[in-house]
Each structure stands twice: as structure tokens, then as C-alpha cells.
Chains A and B, each alone.
Chain A
Amino acid sequence: MSDSGMNRDMRAVARTGLFMSEGEGEISRIIDLKSLARHYKKSFPVLTFRNLHSSGSLDSIRAEVKQKRLDSVVLAGESPLFYSTTRNGDLLLRILQDAGINSNRIAIVNLKEQAALPHRTVPAEATKKARALIDVGLEKVRLSKDVGMIEVAPKKTVAVIGTTAAGLFAAQRLLERGFHIFFIDRVMMRDVSAYKTDVMPTLAYVKRHSDAIFHDSPLEELYGYAGNFRIKLKDGVNLRAGGIVVAIEDDLEFTERLYPFLRLERDNEGYFKTIFSDTSVTETVNPGIFLIPHGTSFATTIASADSAAMSLDTLLKRHSIRHELFVSEVDADICGGCGTCIKTCLFHAAELDPVSKLSSTNIKRCVGCGNCVSACPTGARDQVSANTEYLLSAIKILSSYEPPGGIKLLYLVCEGCGYHSLDYAGREGLEYPTSVMPLSVRCAGRIDTQFILEAFREGFSGVVICKCAEDRCLNIVGNTDLDRRANLFRAVLNSRGISPERLRIFGVSDCDGSSCVKGAVDFIEHLGKMGRG
């Protein structure tokens, strides 16, 4: 993009602050943050820190937001995963929100894993690429609107899935604190006699407690959010719970059955896992759902059960829980009521009034994956977290970076598996060409085939989509819907003289950095051989 074009855009975001992290040297050793700061200072307040989470940095950021009356912020440094999986990162986001910045006006630019670590032998190119990535972050906050939120009065009931030892211990703790409990399992009561006799008093306590109810009917539906989950069982029972404890040990078959309802991340063996952090032992990607990890010692399992109970006690005793509406929105001026979103949404979040022929989003059910946004043939639907205008603009900005060799790859990564994998690649020290230009989307299902055409028009030589492997899509059907779209779409590419070989789709599991990188490197080599056409 020409400089004059950028400057025009920048004026419109005059109240955006750019905070850059040296990553304790890991970033600044490779990327010339000083030159970037000089460049962006022309248009924005820019501060660079050794890291963004030390108390000194936090104080300065807070002061800067207040003094410059910033309404949006770009954090260039660590991965978004740093913010979603560590207490340090989480604290920074909370401080920004408390200072009045809406979550949707905070863009996180991953300089560390996407520009510094994988390109450490070519610092000048890494710096150029970093600039394109920061430009995308600035564009994100410029084009995003505030996300709405609702306050939920939390239900003082907890669903414990699995009548295992850990489940019973967590239940006892919660019952002692005055919560109601209902158990959901494939049997009324598991045989816990294999455990030490220490479980027996807990079993007796829970079984005799009038506030504990046992269900053995399979799940039919589960939706909602922290503070208010709605659960329907096959036998017709409807339940409400403020939080959920998953304590199913190594029951893989049960994990499979629960997966479409709980949508928790799974490890390579297929078991549910907590978010990757030593400090978040039982927290999962879904707030309000806590997991007792399997395969640990009895003592650790019980400690985890205590931790989950403690977390739920803290969460549900709050007066209210804030829930941000990162959902799909409908433009009523454009929606004509064709029903495509109704057919597309697995979560039954798309609703339609057949009389007015207008669709709407059930905010209790919408998970914000964006599959309906891709599917909507009119463009009436859009995603709050990453709107279509931003994604199209980001593709254009990323194409402005001219890598050595001339072959440019747009690397669309889903936030489920693809993003994690690319991060792993960076952390593992795997180097790959700077021409791999990453753009994260919420889910592979959010990838509109219009984006692919746009990428080729903007001059990318190839497009890679890094989606979750077969049965690992957190939104269950996002990856397969993408495949269906791509299969039909190949004819369109062919018709424009663009070889369908220029579009590759990788299914990866969430920490598969090496196949992510190998795929990209092989592809660039292949594109080099193909030449044009």
C-alpha cells in the first residue's frame, strides 16, 4: 500500500495507541522496533516496553490511555495466546478494559511468533513483515465497533459431569458452600471402589445431600455461557447451571459424546484439555466450564477438584457476570429471509421470523464462529469480532509486503488449531520464509470464498488455509463446511485461469508446528515451479 494511502487511514484512528513489547529481547533482538516506533509515531502515540506485563509497563499503559484519552489499542508483541492463557496477559487486558477500552477495540499483533522467532536470520525482512502485521492490527481497531455486553446473574447451581472421585469431591466442596449440584453421567453412579477408602465419606455425603441430584440420561442440548448454561437431557429434563465441572477421567468414549456439547480443546490423544498454563489448572477455553485433568496422581486430582470448586465459588458468588456478545449480527435492510443461516448454524442460534422474513441471532446460543456469515448469500450477516470489511482490508494490507523471491502466501489460520500450530512453530525455532503472511480467523467456517478470490486479485501466489484436523473443529462443522465450499469453489478458480493447486487446505491438530511449516515451505517451492497460471 502506498504511504499516502496509509496516512489517510491513520488519521481516522487518531485515538489509537500502539504499545510494543521487546519480548524481553526475544523480539527486539530481531525486529527493529525503534524504526517501527519512529514510523508509527507520526500518527499514533507509541510506547515500547521490555515487556507489556510488568507492573511498570502496566502503570505506564494505564496512564497513557487516560492521558491521551485512547479509545483503542494495538498490542504488538506476544501472541494472543499469551493474553488468553496466562494471568499476566489477562491482567493487561483487564486493565485496558477497566480504563474504558472495549475488548473489540484491542488488537493483538503477534510479532514474536509470527515475525521475530521464525525469521531470526533475516531481521530486515522480519521488520518489514512486522510492519504489515501492525498495519493489520491498526486496521482491525479502526474498522471494529464496540462489542455489546450483557450482565448475567449467575445461577447457584453447578452441573458435574462424571460421578468420578474427582466429580464427587468437587461436588462436596460446592455443596458445602451452598450450591445445588446435579450430576450427569452415562450411569447413575460409577463404581469408585477402586479408589482409596478416602472417597467413601465423600460419596456418602454427596449421595445423602438433598441438593444433589443424579441424572443418567444423555445430553441433548447444552448452550449458554458462564453463569447461565441451559442443558437438556434426552429424557426431557431441562436443567440450568451457572457452571460446569467435567470430571470424566480417561473415558474417551464419553469424551467423544460430550465433545459437540462442551466444545473443549482436545489433546493429540483425544482427551479434553485445560488451557495451556501452569496457573490455570482447571480452566478451559469455555469460561464457566472447568475440567479435572486426567492421568494425574490421586492427590493432584483431588487438588484439581478443589481448584475447580474454588473457581466456581468465586465466579458464581459474584453479583453478575459480564458476557461479551461476540456474535453474528444481521443487517435487517439486507436480509431477505432465505433461511441459509438456519440450515448452516449447528448451534440453532440463527432464527427466522417467517412472516417478516427476517433472520436474527439468539445470543444465548451463538458461539460467534462466523459460519453463518460465510454462508449468508446476501452479506446481511457479519461477525462482531472480525468483520468482513476488516478481513478484506487485511488481505490487501498483507499483500503490500513484497518478500524476496516474489512468491507470497496468504496463510489463513483458524484460531482453534492453525494459530496454535503456527505459534508452536515459532517457539520451536522453526524458520520459514517471510513470505508466509498469516491472518487469523475465528474458524475455518468463517472463510468466505470471496476472501480467496480477493487474495488472488491482490497478488498472492497461493492461499493456505490451516484448519483443525477432521474431528477437532471447536465449532464442530466449520472445517467440513470449509471443505465443501472449497470443493465447489475450485471450478471458479479454474475458470479464471488460477490453478486450484494454488489453494491448499491443511488439517492440523493444535500443536503441530512442524507440519504447518513444512506444508508452507513445500508449497512455496511448488508455486515456484508452477510459475504463473
Chain B
Amino acid sequence: MKKLRVATGHLQGCFGCHMALLDLHEDLIALLDSIDLVRSPINDVKSVPKVELGILDGALCNSSNLALAKEFRKKAGKILAFGTCAAFGGINGLRNLFSLEEVLGRAYVETESTIKGKVPSSPDIPGMLPHVRAVHQEIQVDYVLPGCPPTPRMIKAVLSDIIGNKEPDIPQKNLCHECNRKHKEMYIPKREFVTNSVHAIMELDEIDPEKCFLEQGLLCMGPATREGCEARCVKGNVPCRGCMGPTTGALEQGAKMINALASILPAGAMMFMEDVVGVGYRYSLPVSIFPYREDK
């Protein structure tokens, strides 16, 4: 059987998505029967050869990322935006809430441990893009697989589909669908908030591992977040932070979550308690309706 020629490339991110490829374990051996990984940061090939599939993880943050993404587009038949940063800009995107000067100043000058710091300005260092962007916002993308990182099961399924020339099937519902926590208040048709108070996780001595987080007054992004992650965080007793991005029917996560919360949790408490913006747009700011702070 002819193997699919694949190249992978890393843009801006934590490299976790590439590591997640290795999480396929034994399945990786089977997968390598049908793909030929000709270029990746793992095998340290710098140039991008002609391939049938290019897999990009990470967001577009600087000129080097952009150049690599464009190179991939030229050389690859199909492009898979792999992982949350590639799909939505990911956590990198939160810098869009600040100007470039503020970001660089904070990183190189204002940190508490820095004395006489200055922003590096060598021409050898790739210049920062004014705003972080998702891969599809600069080059045409054929497939998108979100996840921080994507689960081995989803990676395997999506790659198998692409190898078999099928459109990958990404789940469309929200996380509540695959979350097994028990709902009680959320299902009672009564115009009352599910709790009287809103808590930060560290405030509570104990978090009920079986009960819906929202019903415990903990902000969980599950309702506004696509399923497919196998609810790993909620199984680990940590509320969803939204890494899978918005569902198919929503334009963005932040506004949608606010709309929903208005009838679930006491808004007054939330306004003082929570960083509404940070919670709502943690992973998807660059693909939100208004993807950056307008410069004044």
C-alpha cells in the first residue's frame, strides 16, 4: 500500500500537541504503516518537502510562524490545523488583549526579577505579529482538530479518516453531553439560580466529584465548549476551561457563556469573583467576533 506522505510543523505553542502524537503509543506503529513522516520537528528536517498532508500545531504569533505556515500551504496537498492553538490561537491569543508594546515591556522590562531589561531588537529574531491568529486566518486549512492537546483517540480517528480519504468526523455537541456529572438543579424548570454563591476552586475545601460544577457554584465552561476531549478535566475534578472551542452553532465562546450564565449563576457574584474575559476567551480569543483590543 502506498503510504501517505506527511510533514508536521510547529508554530507557536507548548509543543504538547506534537507530544500527543507520541501518546498514540502502540497505535503509532500501526499508523506508521500507512504514513510516511518525511518531515517533523522530531526528525529535525528543516526544509518542507512536497507532501500530501501537512500537520501544523501552534498559533501564528510571529513572522517565522507565518513563513512556515505559508511554506506548508505551498508544499502540502491538505493542511490539518492540529490542536487548539492552531485551530483557535489558543492561550497565546490572550495577548491580543494588550498592545505589542505592553506585552514586550511586561516580558522583558517590567518583570519583578528584571533589572535594566530591554526589548531585544536583533533582525535575527522573528518579529511579533500585531495580533495572534489561528492558522486558518492566514492560510487555507482543510481539516481542524481542536484539543489541548487532542486525545489519542481523536488523533487516531482523524488521521485514519484522512488516510482513508474521508471527511473527519469531529463531535458537534457541548461538553455536557459527554460529562457524566449529575445534574439536579440544572434540570429543574424553575427561575432560580443553581447556587447562591460563586466560588473559586481554591476556596472550597471539598469539591463534589459527582455533581455538576455549576451547581456547586464553580464556573465551568463545559456548556459553551465542544465535546471530544473525553471530559478529562472534569473527570479529574477540575472544571472545563474551554480548550475545545465553541460548538458548531455558536460564533464564539465568551459571549455565549455569558448569555447562559445570566440564568444559571448570580451575575452580581460573578462580576466580582471572576475574570469573565479570561474565562470566556481563554483559548479562543483570536477566533472570537472581536479578536483583539482596538488600539486607542
A and B co-occur in one complex: yes
Instruction: Please tell me which stretch of B34-42, B85-93, B101-109, B261-269 contacts chain A, meaning at least 4 of its Cβ atoms lie within 8 angstroms of it.
Output: B261-269
Report A-chain residues with C-beta under 8 Å of the C-beta of B259.
Answer: 374-377, 448-450, 485
Report A-chain residues with C-beta under 8 Å of the C-beta of B288.
Answer: 453
Q: Is the CB of B255 within 8 A of A342?
A: no
Total interface residues on A, using CB and 8 Å? Answer: 52
> 8 Å CB contacts to A: which residues of B264-281?
264, 267, 270-271, 276-277, 280
Q: Is the CB of B189 within 8 A of A375?
A: no
Query: Closest residue to B276 on the A side, CB-wise?
Result: A491
> 8 Å CB contacts to B: which residues of A320-353?
331, 333-340, 342-346, 348, 350-352
| Interface residue? A532 (CB, 8 A) | yes
Q: Report the bound CA distance from A147 to B295 in whole Å.
A: 45
User: How many A-B contacts if CB must be within 8 Å?
Assistant: 173
> 8 Å CB contacts to B: which residues of A77-96?
none
Q: Report the bound CA distance from A457 to B288 in whole Å.
A: 11
Q: Report the bound CA distance from A29 to B262 in whole Å.
A: 47
Q: Is the CB of A484 within 8 A of B250?
A: no
Report A-chain residues with C-beta under 8 Å of the C-beta of B3.
Answer: none
Report B-chain residues with C-beta under 8 Å of the C-beta of A354.
Answer: 183, 187
A391 to chain B, nearest CB (A): 12
Q: Is the interface on chain B under 10, 10 to 19, 20 to 34, or 35 or more residues?
A: 35 or more
| Interface residue? B177 (CB, 8 A) | yes
Knowing A378-B249, A450-B289, A497-B294 are in contact, say whether A488-B258 is a contact too (CB < 8 A). yes
Q: Is the CB of A488 within 8 A of B260?
A: no
Q: Report the bound CA distance from A491 to B276 in whole Å.
A: 7
| Interface residue? A68 (CB, 8 A) | no
Report B-chain residues with C-beta under 8 Å of the C-beta of A392.
Answer: 251
Q: Is the CB of A378 within 8 A of B247?
A: yes
Q: Report the bound CA distance from A533 to B296 in whole Å.
A: 5
Q: Report the bound CA distance from A357 to B296 in whole Å.
A: 46
| Interface residue? A35 (CB, 8 A) | no
Q: Is the CB of B280 within 8 A of A377?
A: no
Selected from A334, A352, A380, A496, the residue in CB contact (under 8 A) with B290 is A496
Q: Report the bound CA distance from A345 to B189 in whole Å.
A: 7
Q: Is the CB of B293 within 8 A of A497?
A: yes
Query: Closest residue to A495 on the B side, CB-wise?
Result: B277
Knowing A354-B187, A448-B259 are in contact, say whether A495-B97 is a contact too (CB < 8 A). yes
Report B-chain residues with C-beta under 8 Å of the C-beta of A481.
Answer: 262-263
Selected from B224, B263, B289, B296, the residue in CB contact (under 8 A) with A344 is B263
Q: Is the CB of B247 within 8 A of A450?
A: no
| Interface residue? A379 (CB, 8 A) | yes
Q: Is the CB of B257 within 8 A of A334?
A: no
| Interface residue? B173 (CB, 8 A) | yes
Q: Is the CB of B177 within 8 A of A380?
A: no
| Interface residue? A492 (CB, 8 A) | yes
Q: Is the CB of A377 within 8 A of B183?
A: no
Q: A343-B191, A498-B294 are in contact. List 11 more A-B contacts (CB 8 A).
A: A333-B173, A337-B177, A377-B174, A378-B224, A380-B247, A456-B290, A484-B263, A485-B258, A488-B258, A497-B295, A533-B294
Q: Which residues of B contact A (CB under 8 A)?
A: 97, 172-178, 183, 185-191, 194, 222-224, 227, 246-252, 254-264, 267, 270-271, 276-277, 280, 288-290, 292-296
Going nearest first, the 6 A-B pairs with the smallest beta carbon separation are: A379-B249, A336-B177, A339-B186, A336-B173, A336-B174, A338-B176
